Amino acid sequence: MKEIIGTSNRVLEIDLSSREVKEFTVTDNDRRLYLGGKGLGLKILYERLQPGTDPLGKDNILVFMMGVLMGSGAPCSGRFSAVTKSPLTSTITGANAGG
């Protein structure tokens, strides 16, 4: 299987309470299935967020995930998504930005 060009497949996990930083790898298969950005961010949130987590509590997660074309050299491809559990609706929410 050929590696996907344009991504490093590395993600930093930063715990703001303990100031601990970990690095984990996103598989090429997950990149293909979820396409980076919001899709991959939602997958990570789904796997790591416990049911019933208080959206304003310390156990909520905020995921910043780079878009699928980040680093590819394509014009205007520098986009990212942010996904979390919403304090307004207690459901998953997301936003994206870039240029």
d(CA 72, CA 53): 36
Pairwise CA distance, residues 62 & 84, whole Å: 5
In this structure, is residue 89 part of a structural domain? yes
Q: What digits encode the pLDDT tens for the residues 28-62?
A: 888 888 887 889 999 999 999 999 999 999 999 99
Structural domains in the chain (count): 1
| 5 assigned to some structural domain | no
* Inside any domain, residue 46: yes
1 located within any domain: no
CATH value at residue 29: 3.60.9.10
In a domain, 2, yes or no: no
Q: Which domain holds residue 21?
A: 10-98
- Residue among 72, 3, 9, 1 at smallest CA distance from 36: 9
Of 25, 28, 6, 27, which Cα lies nearest the Cα of 77?
A: 6
Residue 19 is assigned to a structural domain of this protein? yes
Q: What is the pLDDT of residues 9-26, one digit of tens each?
A: 788 888 888 999 998 888
With tokens 């998953």, the residue in question is 92
